[in-house]
Amino acid sequence: MTDLITEQATAAASGAAATEQFRSKQRTENTSADTERVDTLVSELLAATHDIVRRHKVTYAEYDALKAWLIQVGEDGEWPLFLDVWIEHAVEEVAGESRKGSKGTIEGPYYIPGSPRFAAEASLPTRDGEQGTPLLFQGQVRAVDGTPLSGAVVEMWHADNDGLYSQFAPGLPEWNLRGTVVADARGNFKIHTIEPAPYQIPTDGSCGKLIEAAGWHAWRPAHLHLKVAAPGHQLITTQLYFQGGEHVGDDIATAVKPELILAPTPVADGQGREVTYDFVLDKA
């Protein structure tokens, strides 16, 4: 059954879902482009590309291969995947460079807003008999000055034990392993879930062709995605990884930071693991 599900979680299906989700986000946001900013960024991007062509003596055969690949990326709907895997981490570093609170990292292409909302201690939605090691993820949300943030919102989503995300792979309930938890008056929260598995980004589409051609691997380490927010404070988007986990040291998305690595310990009854991780939010 696992093999069948994995085979059906194609690049085309994931790409289409990620593209539609991004378009939906764009429709709800007012974005405008500053002409001088566009001129600067695009001109420098083109100049850097020209420099690569000249330094490496790019041939017409290589140029045509690039054109064909770029066209295929669009046809596969894999631009969100490509940008989020290889570009977003640099954008996030710039966005967070002045932040004094918790570290953030990339959102990735698999976020879906509007997940089910729960009280301060909750279990993420799962299937009957959900496979994976039980995990209690708990902590406190507070301001940089140490003030607990009452009613802070902790949104979590992650892959299952097969490395698949609900709404991006067939056969999974809509909100499987996705939920929004509202912290208590002291900013405390407890989330019961399972530990996710490492996973390959889809390799049957254009991004997979690039990975194969360059001799790279396609793996991301196991991780929890989170968005943490409180009124009057900056939203944190982050991912948390597991100490000793496979590919923590060579994540294809270059999103791992030392501050984001968890070290869970066995729970008292031996049924799973637990970890405490606090979030510190900057003023907006």
pLDDT in tens, 236-281: 999 999 999 999 999 999 999 999 999 999 998 889 999 999 999 9
Query: Which of 21-35, 55-69, 118-132, 151-165 shows the lowest per-residue confidence on average (mean pLDDT)?
Result: 21-35
Residue 235 binned pLDDT confidence (cut-offs 50, 70, 90)? very high
* pLDDT value at 48 more than 80: yes
Mean pLDDT of all residues in the chain?
A: 92
In the chain, where the domains are located: 1-284
* pLDDT value at 12 more than 80: no
Cβ-count burial 9-44 (b if 16+ within 10 Å, e if not): bbbebbbbbbbebbeeeeeeeeeeeeeeeeeeeeee
Query: For the residues 120-124, what does the mean pLDDT come to?
Result: 98
Query: For the residues 145-155, what does the mean pLDDT come to?
Result: 97
Query: For the residues 188-198, what does the mean pLDDT come to?
Result: 98
State the fold for domain 1-284: Protocatechuate 3,4-Dioxygenase, subunit A (2.60.130)
pLDDT at 11: 62
128 three-state secondary structure: coil
